Each structure stands twice: as structure tokens, then as C-alpha cells.
Amino acid sequence: MPGNFATIAVLGRAGDPQIAATLTRLLGQLRAAHATALVDAALAPLLGHPSDAQLADHLRLAAAAELAIVIGGDGTLLKAAHVFNSRPVPLVGINLGRLGFLTDISPDSMDTDIAAILRGEYRADRRVLLEAEIAHAAQTTACVPALNDVVIQKTDGGRLIEFETYVDGQFVCAHRADGLIVATPTGSTAYALSGGGSILHPALDAMILVPICPHALGDRPIVLGGGSRVEIAISQTHGGRAQATSDGQHMQILNAGDRIRVWRADRAVTFIHPHGHDYFRILRTKLHWGPGLTRSDNE
């Protein structure tokens, strides 16, 4: 990836006044670096008046940007990544003072880190996406790609759902559970982790299936190769409804008989980090690893 980014999309957590100061500083920095900044029109209310910032809608951002800088948390970066589904635009995340798994540049180090990135000094971090489609009767619906996970889940609190899983056409298991998470390595530290899944290193070409609150205690998470095709067949929803979501966004209501197919997308998303980025350091910080003691029997 070449170092020079002439046109830069700037996105952020819309409606959050906390990002205003960082946004203004960032735009100043980009102007000083002679880069063209296109600001997500949703951020207009956060810009000072008058502002000479160039606003753009998502279509325009996706068409023109060579780099996207996103101010907010991991969730904001996740949403921003979906803006660029049509073109492989690398993304940089600036957090709001709390380290994220993906947003590892703090407002404090932003000046230095963004300057380095604009000079072409950075580390590219390629993350796979999952594609999914839902077959309902004779009709098949394609879904937006997921960076974290495709999830099927009961939506009415009362009862579990029943479904079968298949990998590359081979029957795996009949599950009775609240749902199933199909997660990328990126998503393995998100919902899948809460469901009891193991962490997948981002460089691993794999996906993990995590049943949610399964009925059978032996129904445990399975890690599959990235080239696997997963199919989930809804058997029974017990009078309730099931739902499919992609990165936490609603895709479709599911009925008995529907089939959801999930596979690794051909394209991927690239995040850009400053040199010195350390995946394990982020894990240590986010998961409270290290000297922080929790059990009550130590000295």
C-alpha cells in the first residue's frame, strides 16, 4: 500500500459532542499536511460555524477516499467499515481516550501517529469479512458482510430455538440454544467471547462457531478453517421468532425451514496502525490481564 493518501474521509460517532475537539484538531492537521479531507455529513453539527470543512455523504466518501480516519470507539469504526463495502479503503481508528481493540490511536498521540501514517509509516492489519445469505422458501437474500460476526438468535425472550449446523455440506450437530455466533478472528473478542468462545489470533485463517446458552453442556465452540462454508438450518422456533444479524445489525426474521449460509468473503478490510501496534498489549489491557489480581487466596 503506497504511503501517500491525498483524499481522506473523516468519520466519527455522530451526535457525540465529545469528539468535536478531536475532530477540529484532526481537520487542522490534515489541512496543514495538504491532504483533502472529506467529512461525513453526519458530523456537520459538531463542526464550528463557520467551517470550511468539505462535507460528503457516504456514497461520495466511498467513491473518493483513499484513507478513512474514524473518531470514536470500536463500534463506530465497525460501522464506518461498512461505508466502504464497495471499495477497499483502509481505515484508521482514533479512540476517545479509552483504548479499543481496533481503535488504538489515542487523542494524545494523534498528532504524531497520523503524521507518521501520512508519511507512509504504518502497519497494515488485514481482517477478513464473513458473507452470508438467507434462503427462505424459493428466495435467497444476500446480507451485508460482517467484520465481527453473523448471529442467529431467538428474539422473543422465552424459549430457545432449534437448528442444525452443517460444514461444507456435512452435518455437524442439532442444537437447542438461544442462538449461534459465527465469528471472524476480529469478532472472537466481541460477542463470541461472552458466549464462551476462545480468542482467535487475527492472522489465523479461521472462523469460530459459538452456540449461545446451549441446552446440552457438551455443545461447545468449534474453530473451523477460513475456507469452510457453514450452513444453519432453522428447525423450530417454538412459537417465537428467530433473527439473523450481521455485526449486530438486524438482517432478517427467520422461520423454521430458513437456511443461513456463511462463508469468508473474497475481499477483506484493512486497518492501519502506527508502528509499535501490539495486538497482545491490547488484549492485556482490555481483558485486564497482568498484575491485576482477582482471586482471594494470594498474598
Q: How far is the CB of 160 from a second copy (least distance, A)?
A: 8
Q: How far apart are CA 232 and CA 189, in angstroms?
A: 22
Part of the chain binding a second copy (CB under 8 A), chosen from 26-34, 35-43, 69-77, 115-123: 69-77
Q: How far apart are CA 260 and CA 144, in angstroms?
A: 13
- Candidates 22, 76, 184, 237; binder of a second copy (CB under 8 A) is 76
Q: How many CB atoms lie within 10 A of CB 98?
A: 10
Annotated catalytic residues are 74
Please work out the total of residues on this chain that contact a second copy, with binding judged by CB under 8 A. 92
Helix axes 110-118, 20-32, angle to 10 degrees: 40
- Rule CB under 8 A: is residue 224 a binding residue for a second copy? yes
Q: Which three cell numbers stand for residue 169?
A: 455440506
- Candidates 214, 237, 260, 269; binder of a second copy (CB under 8 A) is 214
Q: Mask of contacts with a second copy, 86-125, x by CB under 8 A? A: ------------x-xxx-----------------------
- Rule CB under 8 A: is residue 292 a binding residue for a second copy? yes
Residue owning grid cell 417465537: 240
Part of the chain binding a second copy (CB under 8 A), chosen from 82-90, 135-143, 163-171, 266-274: 163-171
Q: Mask of contacts with a second copy, 123-142, x by CB under 8 A? A: --------------------
- Candidates 26, 83, 148, 163; binder of a second copy (CB under 8 A) is 148
Interface with a second copy in residues 21-50 (CB under 8 A) = none
- Rule CB under 8 A: is residue 206 a binding residue for a second copy? yes
Q: Which three cell numbers stand for residue 211?
A: 452456540
- Rule CB under 8 A: is residue 73 a binding residue for a second copy? yes
How far the first Cα of the chain sits from its last, in Å, is 51
Nearer to a second copy, 51 or 198 (CB): 198
Of 198, 184, 189, 67, the closest CA to residue 128 belongs to 184
Instruction: Decide: helix, strand or coil at residue 223.
Output: strand
Of 177, 171, 127, 125, the closest CA to residue 149 belongs to 127
101's torsion region: left (phi>0), alpha (psi -120 to 50) or beta? alpha
Nearer to a second copy, 118 or 262 (CB): 262
Instruction: Decide: helix, strand or coil at residue 274.
Output: coil
- Rule CB under 8 A: is residue 276 a binding residue for a second copy? no
Amino acid identity of residue 265, one-letter, is: A
Part of the chain binding a second copy (CB under 8 A), chosen from 84-92, 105-113, 114-122, 175-183: 175-183
